[in-house]
Structure formats: structure tokens, C-alpha cells
Structure 1
Amino acid sequence: MNGKIAYFSMEIALKSGMPTYSGGLGVLAGDTIRSASDLKIPLVAVSLLYRKGYFYQRLDSSGWQTEEPVEWVVEDFLVEMAERVTVTIEGRMVYLRAWKYDMKGINDFTVPVYFLDTDLEENSQWDRNLTDFLYGGDDHYRICQEVILGIGGVKMLRSLGYHDIERFHMNEGHPSLLTLELLDEEANKAGRTSIITEDVEAVRKSCVFTTHTPVSAGHDRFAMDLVTRVLGNREVLDMKDVFCCGGLLNMTYLALNLSHYVNGVAKKHGEVSRHMFTNYIIDSITNGVHAETWTSQPIQDLFDCYIPGWREDNASLRYALNIPKDELSVAHAKAKRLLIQYVNHQTNAGMDEDIFTIGFARRAAAYKRGDLLFQDLERLREISSQVGLFQVIYSGKAHPKDVGGKELIKRIHQLKSMLKGDIRIAYIPNYNMELGKMITSGVDLWLNTPQPPLEASGTSGMKAALNGVPSLSILDGWWLEGYIKDVTGWSIDSNDQDMDGVSDRSKDALSLYNKLSEIIPLFYRKQKHYVDIMKNCIAINGSFFNTQRMLQQYIVKAYFL
């Protein structure tokens, strides 16, 4: 089998109709796979199936989120493989099958993606449900899922004929139990039943680990009694320097201890990660997005005319500086019209295509501070009435167990009502790939307000940049690298760098309002200058912050050393 790199991710976003992802981690995984197929990288990917998806988001009249299962027909998207493997969970055999999706690149090179599934008659009902929900259930449910992904994923790849894998890439810590299966393989090859130092070193040479967040919720930890209950009394559990941290199984530390290359997802995030994990060498490779996937059709048509070959070579997007201003304006207007029509149809918000439109769409979490814009409602009204009219489009799901995230969505709905008649605001439910593309390409300004330094990278602003949409963002994550004052966008001058997320919100909001008061007049009164900034977004940021460049760095730094 042609799969030298095995890419493991808890979630992968391939199509909006396949609810196998929740947000940025899955979208990044999907974009990585797309670019691997474009670049003809011999990669194979593994994830879980999620028959009931992440969830279908409902917002009631108050803005409170409730969740429902997502029903989808697996056979409409995937092909069932004949192979079956088993993993041992709590002493019993759990059977797995795989469903295949072929990701075809621009030159018809194919990267196979395998989704693991336990819904088989051989399994108990509880085991059959283990691949139903993404990020569902309790710690017991989660660690069982991670056994299936990591240990079961390696076993399935071997059963499918992938015997010559050179690198196992763990996209976040969820798949890191794959290292246990690799350790067992090393011992078995030598005819041993025990793990020795040489096995650990061999596994470490074959593994790559990307950490994606400084937020503690992104680092799975399990009590050792639960681990022993699920995995059994494995010898490796006694290797405390490899397996255990503070009396817990920490999936991040397991991946750190058994990887030869570790990276954060932006330069700043690499620095933050080195402070978090002081005994480890952690590099950085800044995330990117798949250019063709996230560029609107009107902008793609423009690129085809003025930058032929841009799909094969994203770096050539630097020639966007040669695109005539009026043609870029017309292309963006087409994308904006599509978005505004959709928003009005979905929400009856009465939005106007000619009004300056701000977009904010991402997972609803407290540290992302989606309500920072509303810190001072009177100042907002003043900007709208005296500086220039603007409207705001929101979207994003809160994790089902994240009460703070749900409260954030509800608060935005309340503030939307309070501003009715002054500023038009819409919150679109069920944020997915299709809606994300529509918003990032159709707004006039992309807003991002995370609490630094908790934004590891962020990719939504990269998608906006590809479409010529400037960002107004906190200087954190990728924006520290992509920001050039008044050239690619604008910064919100945050006053704080507290890992605990404690800051003076009012100062951040004041900077946000001051910048909006500068940006809105540019849009209305200096349109040619604004379009220059739009061109810069494509030429400077779109040409660099893409998964083609990102994967080329992985090849040089991590995959083929």
C-alpha cells in the first residue's frame, strides 16, 4: 500500500454532509489531507465514524443551545472495507470495521481516509455505540474511543496492507495510544513479550506529534484506575516516565514522550508550548488552509484569469497584486450578495448588501470572547450613527458540556435584541464547512477577539484572507505572523498575556472600537485603498498561510528526515 505517512486525527472534515468533525481541528485535518493529495504525498488517514455526528444545533427564542443527533447515510459517502480487527477493552474483544473515503487531488492522486466503526453484530450494544458521537459521553466513553482510534487504527492499517509506514502523525493527543500498539509490534518482532528501551526508541523515531491548544480541556487526562480497567494490566503502564504524569494518563505527555518531532501550530504557540512543557523540544509549523476549498467561486474565477496554476502552486497567489481593483471588488460583491441573501432567508435579519459587514464565526467558547464587541453598547451605537453603518454576522456551536459557551451564545442573542433598530446582527445556527466558506468569503471584515495567548493558531482568518477579506484581530496565534499594519489588516491591542485568561476587557474593547472607527470610513470613503488591502491579504497572507506550504514544512522537518 502507498502510505508512508499515517495521519491520525479524532476528527476530520471532508464534507459538510459528513458530521465527522466539530471545528478547527477537524477542518485542519481535512485541509491537510486535501493538500497531501494535491502534492502527491503518500499519506493515509485514520479517524472514527460518528454515526450520530457531533450534533445538530438548535437555538430557541432566547438563544439557548440544545443538541440533537445528526442522522446521515454513511453509505452515501463511504465504502465499507471487508477487513475486521479487534481491540481489547475491559477484557473483552471489540470488533472494528473501516469505511473508506478517497480524497482525490488536482492530479487525480488519491489519499485514502479510513473511518473506524464498532456498529457490528458481534459487539454488545454499548460497544456498538462507541463510535456514535464525537466528543460525547464521559471519560470512560472517551478513553474507549481513543483505544479504538489509536490501537485499533494501527491494527486496521496493518490488516489493510499498510506495512511500510515510516511516520505516524498524531494530530493532537487523542490518538496517542497508537504508541502502545507500536511498542507491542516492536517487542513481537524481536520475539519478546516485554518492552525494552530499544522498543521505545524505535517507536519514538517513527512518531510525530502536533499539539493544537494551550487550553487545558484540549489535553485529555484519565485516572489510572480507569486506564487499568480499560486497557488491562499492561507492562507499559509501569513505565511511569513514558506513560504516567502526576498519577494520570495524560495523552499529551504520552505523545510528547514517544515522538521524535513535536510542534505547535504557530510561532507564538510553539513558544507557549515550550513554557507549558519545559522538558521537551517543541518546534512550530504554522497552520494553513486548503486554498481551493475555501476560496469563493467568484474569487476562483478571478484567480483562474490572472494567476493560472494557482491551485498547483499556492505561492503564486502573490501575483494577486496584479488583479485590477474593480474586478476584485465585483468578485467580492458577488460572494457578499450570496451571503446576505442566505442570512436574510435564514434569519429575516433584513441585512443590506451595501452596508459594511463584520463576520465572527468559530466555536463558541469563553476564551474566544465573542461578546467583546458588545462591551459598550452606547459606543457601538455611536460608531454606527456617526462613523458609518455596519452589521454583524455570527455563527458557531458550543460544546454540549460547555455551559459557558452556551451562555455566550445566549448573551449575544440578548445583546442583538437590545441593539435592534441600531445595528443589524444575525446568529446563524449549525456552523459547518459550507457556511464557513460563505461567511469568510462574503463579509467585509473578519473579527477575532481571543484571550491571548490561548489562540494557538486560528485558521478562519486565513480563509478570509484568501478571499481578500482583511482581519481585525487580537495579536495572537497566526495573526502575529500575518499582521502588517494597514497592509493586511488591523490589530486589537490587547493589554494582557495571562494564561489564566484574566484581562481588562474594557481596554481590549476600547482598542476594538477605536480601530473600527478607523476602518469603517476607509470602506465607505476610500474604497480604492480598502481594495488595496484586500489584494494584500491574498498576495501576502493567502500565498503563505495555506496547507501546501504547511505540508512542505512537515516533509522537511518531520516526515522524511
Structure 2
Amino acid sequence: MEIALRPEIHTYSGGLGILAGDTARSCADLELPVVFVTLASRAGYLRQAIAADGSQVGHDDPWSPADWATPLDAMIAVQMEGRSVWIRPWLYVVTCPIGHPIPVLLLDTDLDQNAPEDRRITDRLYGGDEVYRLKQEIVLGIGGVRLLQALGFAIATYHLNEGHAAFLTLELLRRRRRDQPGSNGLYHEADHVRDICVFTTHTPVEAGHDRFSYEDLERVLGSDFVPLDEIKPLAGEDRLNMTRLALNLSGYVNGVARRHAETTQQMFPGYRIAAITNGVHAPTWTHPAFAQLYQKILPNWGHEPEVLAWADQLRDEDVWAAHQAAKHDLLKEIQQSTGVAMDSGVPLIGFARRMTGYKRPDLLFADLQRLRAINARFPFQVVMAGKAHPHDTQGQYMIQDIHDRMRQLAPDIRVAFLPNYDMKLAYTLVAGADVWLNTPLPPLEASGTSGMKAALNGVLNFSTLDGWWVEACVDGVTGWSIGQRGASEGAERHGPDLYDKLEGQVLPIYYQDRARWIGMMKQGISKIASYFNSQRMMRRYTTEAYVRP
């Protein structure tokens, strides 16, 4: 449903889209024969402003496909509500430094041939009501398959990136029945679909699994597309569960971290859930100062990030100079965007992600008195960013509440909130902070990738043990954990543990043992960046998911 190709193309909302973009970039690097399919999302997702009272103000964030992509001379139609809804693709090409191209098809219904209400189907990312979302996912899944065929692509494997594309499995079922009229019924046809489908689920949060009423499905798609009595055993009796549909019609299923695969297995017992932990595209997220540093001793690091395992041999003074250059860029951005002047000699804690309940962006501010006491001993400063979905009232409240606490802490502790968190701002944040804070409520973080980007730039992670961090955390070496590994205490201990480690370990090392701090930076690069990259991730998808016995 979303992909982050470049900041000017507003076809993403957050981590899922950023991951898709990094996947495309690594496919280009590895010269994999892959084509990506998504929606044009002309109106974008959300352009965020912050009002005087600290509340989020959302605006449209439109972009013009004609500025960045090429319209292709092909159209297909999908019947919806008795009308032909025409879909045309725009082509954007991702290329690697040596020129290998990866096509990205952006599906668009804003065509003269369509009724006014149908022209808006592909307008807004994650917008509208349930029926609007249903129509978008029909365009993505069914329309995507038809356009690939119309454009002449020979597809060996369909990779469903989250359940949004699961309607493609029904289209493949329908085609199998049409092309093989003598087949042995639904289960034989389903086996054929499973042979060519791979499904990656990205969330353990219930709201992330789309469900639609069968009444809406029948009204929109028609009763003769695939009969409901055949869909229900695959997608659920009461409502169409897109995740369950994908699970039942995919021959390979994986979560995006080991912990996430375990959680998904518990949510959906009876399915075999593999684990391929996410990664990030190293050249995209590495600050130029670090890129130059790596290039001197590891000239192939961009294509082969595993050689960053040798980064622990870098000179301390070079690592610190590169970090200070990245921090300077972030402090400049904070000053220009918010007017808050921060000190380059004071440790900067960064927190940036989608603002929603389970991410707990307010955990740091749970005890303002304790924060002031810590700051009196070891001064620190904080920079935050993140958008809340327009329908997420709790997330929007959190943004306003954080601004209220910022005012209460001033002038003792400098805290800045950067509006309109996007790909460009993320690049500056993950490189320039000293500490990257992440506080999700376990086990609700599927993976998380911002901390991987931070580690590429020597930024130390400080996070609850969830998602990818369970695999990467070596306490006091690659960063710090919040909470104890395998401990039985509840989430109520996370706040006190955050404060205890901030005061007793993180800040004292920064101020009193700079050599150890830089040593940890190098350990973070060598142990995290060398493994948690999208090159390794795509090699595993290729050998384990795409090429199967």
C-alpha cells in the first residue's frame, strides 16, 4: 500500500513504506528480477503542522506523478459496484549506482474514463472509510495482477507485503479456474496459488489487520467473482480477514523479526511462521561523513554492508569527528524548524516514529521531577518527531500532551518537537542524535528499523526489548535495554528502568568515559550495521522464500 521512493513522492506514511523503499533499493543493488506494485496516492498521507497549543494540524500532502514518473500506455478495468473502474500505471524506476533498474508501478484511477467517485479511489493513503479502503485493496490486489499481465511481466512469485494485497490471491484463484476448467476444485486450485505466493506480515497490532464485511465485498466486487462460500473458509466466516486470507493462500509466511514471528504464531496458531528480520539500505541512511569514513577502509561497504563488521577498527577520533558533523546538521535543523538552540556538547536523545499508544512516546515524560533531578546531575536534551493518524485520537492527544510537558520542563531541559516527520527529516535525525530512544510496549513492535539506521551512524540504541532489538542488544556494548531479558515484571517497570539506566549508565559514560562511549559506537556499527541491512534481508528472501523446493 505504501512505498518511500524519495521525499518528494508522498506515497508512504511511515516504517512500512520506508522498508518497501529500502527493499527496492537493495533489489536494484543485487540485480534481482523484481517489480513493485503500489498505489499512486496523489493526495499523499498527511502534512503535519503543530498549533500553538501543541495539537497536531493535518493538511493534504499532494504530489504530482507527472513530476517524477512516466505514464504507461496500458489500462485495465476492475468491476466495482457494477461499473468498470479503469486503472493506469505510472512507472518510477529505482536504479543502483551501477545502473540496474527496478520498476515500480504506481496504480492510478484518476482517469477521464472513470466516474467521479472512482477517480478518487487511489487518492489518499490510508484515508476514507472501510469501503474506500476495500476499493483501494481491490485496485492493489486484483488490478495489480491484471496490469502486470497486461504489461507483459512473467511473474514467478507474488510477494504480499502485508495483508493489503491479499485480493491478488482471489484473482489468481479465479484465473486458475478459468484457465484450468478441469481442475479438482477449490483446494487443488488453492494449492497452485500457494505455490506462487509469499506473505510477510508486519504487525502484531489487531488494528493493523484489515477486516471487511462480506456484504460490502459482495456489493462492491459482485457475487460471481469468487463465491462467498469458497472465500469464507479461507478468510473467516463472519468478516473477511485479509491477513487470514493471505495466510491460507501463501506457501511461505514470515514475520519481520524472530520475536515477531513467535508472536504471530501465537496469534494465528496452525500456520508455519518463519522469521526474516528486517534491514535498512545502508547507503541511503548513512551520513556523508560516515560514508567517507567507511569508504576509506571498506570501499565495497555500500554493496556489501557485512564488511562493516570491520568498523571496530576505525580510529576513535575519526568516528567522533564524523558523528559531530552529523550532530551539527541535526542541531541546525532543530534551530531552523523550532527556534530551539541546542548545545553540541550536551547528549541529545532522539525519538521519532508514528505517534500511537503502543509506541509510548510519553514514557520518557512519566516522571518530570525525576527527569529534572537527572538533568541536574547530567544535563541532556531531547528531540522528537512523529505523526498521528487522523483517526487516532489517542496518538493526537499524546502529541499535545508531550508539548504540554515540554513547556513544564522549560527552561531546565531543552526539548524540541520537529513537525512533519518524513523521509528527509528521518535521515537527519537518525544520524545526528547521540542516543536513539525506542519505548514500544512488548510484544507489539513487529520489528522497528529506525534504530538500525541510527546504528549505521554510530548512534547508540536505548530501547525496550521488542522487535529487532531483542536480537541486536548486547547491554553496555551495542546500546542498552529497557527492562530485563526474559524478566517477568510488567510494563510498569519500564519507566523506572529507563530513568535508572539513563542516570546510572547512559549519561555517566557520555560525560565521564568518552573512550568507552566511542568504543560502543564502533561496536554498534560493526555488530548492527553489518547484519541489520536490507542486502542481507533480500538475500534471505531470495533463497528461502522465492526459491523453494
1:407 is matched with 397
SS at match of 1:412: helix
1:48 is matched with 39
Contact kept, 8 Å, 2:320 with 2:518, in 1: the verdict is yes
Contact kept, 8 Å, 1:344 with 1:351, in 2: the verdict is yes
Contact kept, 8 Å, 2:183 with 2:189, in 1: the verdict is no
Q: Is 2:498 the counterpart of 1:512?
A: yes
2:438 is matched with 448
- Structure 1 gap segments, 5+ residues each: 1-9
SS at match of 2:120: helix
2:172 is matched with 182
1:333 is matched with 324
The CA RMSD over aligned residues, in Å, is 1.6
- Structure 2 gap segments, 5+ residues each: none
Q: Is 2:332 the counterpart of 1:355?
A: no
SS at match of 2:163: coil
Q: 2:372 aligns with which of 381, 386, 394?
A: 381
1:58-207 equivalent positions in 2, closer than 5 A: 58-162=49-153, 164-191=154-181, 196-207=186-197
Q: Equivalents in 1 of 2:334, 2:463: separation in Å?
A: 23
1:209-220 equivalent positions in 2, closer than 5 A: 209-220=199-210
Amino acid corresponding to residue 216 of structure 1 in structure 2: E
Amino acid corresponding to residue 158 of structure 1 in structure 2: Q
Q: 1:531 aligns with which of 505, 512, 518?
A: 518
2:356 is matched with 365
In the TM superposition, residue 497 of structure 1 has moved relative to its aligned partner by: 9.1
SS at match of 2:89: strand
Q: Is 2:489 the counterpart of 1:493?
A: no
- Residues 181-230 of structure 1, C-alpha deviation per residue, up to 9 Å, x if partnerless? 11122122224699632211111110000000110111000111111111
Q: Is 2:470 the counterpart of 1:480?
A: yes
1:436 is matched with 426
In the TM superposition, residue 59 of structure 1 has moved relative to its aligned partner by: 1.2
Q: Equivalents in 2 of 1:41, 1:307: separation in Å?
A: 24
- Residues 224-248 of structure 1, C-alpha deviation per residue, up to 9 Å, x if partnerless? 1111111111334212554331410
In the TM superposition, residue 105 of structure 1 has moved relative to its aligned partner by: 1.4
The structure-2 alpha-carbon separation of the partners of 1:66 and 1:329, relative to structure 1 and needing over 3 Å to count, comes to same
- Residues 496-523 of structure 1, C-alpha deviation per residue, up to 9 Å, x if partnerless? 999xxx9553x21110011111111111
Q: In terms of mean alpha carbon deviation, does 195-204 or 169-178 score higher?
A: 195-204
- Between the two proteins, the alignment pairs up a number of residues equal to 546
Q: Equivalents in 2 of 1:196, 1:510: separation in Å?
A: 55
1:5 is matched with none
Q: Equivalents in 2 of 1:86, 1:225: separation in Å?
A: 22
Q: Is 2:414 the counterpart of 1:424?
A: yes
Q: Is 2:461 the counterpart of 1:471?
A: yes
Contact kept, 8 Å, 1:211 with 1:265, in 2: the verdict is yes
Q: Equivalents in 2 of 1:240, 1:116: separation in Å?
A: 25
SS at match of 2:198: strand
Contact kept, 8 Å, 1:57 with 1:430, in 2: the verdict is yes
Q: 1:391 aligns with which of 367, 378, 381?
A: 381
1:3 is matched with none
1:545-560 equivalent positions in 2, closer than 5 A: 545-560=532-547
Amino acid corresponding to residue 43 of structure 1 in structure 2: V
In the TM superposition, residue 62 of structure 1 has moved relative to its aligned partner by: 1.3
- Percent identical pairs in the alignment equals 46
Q: Equivalents in 1 of 2:390, 2:8: separation in Å?
A: 20
Contact kept, 8 Å, 2:232 with 2:240, in 1: the verdict is no
1:243 is matched with 234
Amino acid corresponding to residue 383 of structure 2 in structure 1: I
1:261 is matched with 252
Contact kept, 8 Å, 1:237 with 1:244, in 2: the verdict is no
Q: Equivalents in 2 of 1:85, 1:297: separation in Å?
A: 44
1:252 is matched with 243
Q: Equivalents in 2 of 1:247, 1:135: separation in Å?
A: 23
Q: Equivalents in 2 of 1:143, 1:118: separation in Å?
A: 14
Q: Equivalents in 2 of 1:72, 1:261: separation in Å?
A: 36
Contact kept, 8 Å, 1:470 with 1:489, in 2: the verdict is yes
SS at match of 2:535: helix
Q: Equivalents in 2 of 1:259, 1:242: separation in Å?
A: 15
Contact kept, 8 Å, 1:242 with 1:258, in 2: the verdict is no
- Residues 80-126 of structure 1, C-alpha deviation per residue, up to 9 Å, x if partnerless? 10100001111210000000011101321111000000000010111
SS at match of 1:43: coil
Q: Equivalents in 2 of 1:494, 1:139: separation in Å?
A: 40
- Residues 336-370 of structure 1, C-alpha deviation per residue, up to 9 Å, x if partnerless? 00000110111011211111000000000110000
- Residues 158-200 of structure 1, C-alpha deviation per residue, up to 9 Å, x if partnerless? 01101x2111000000000001111122122224699632211
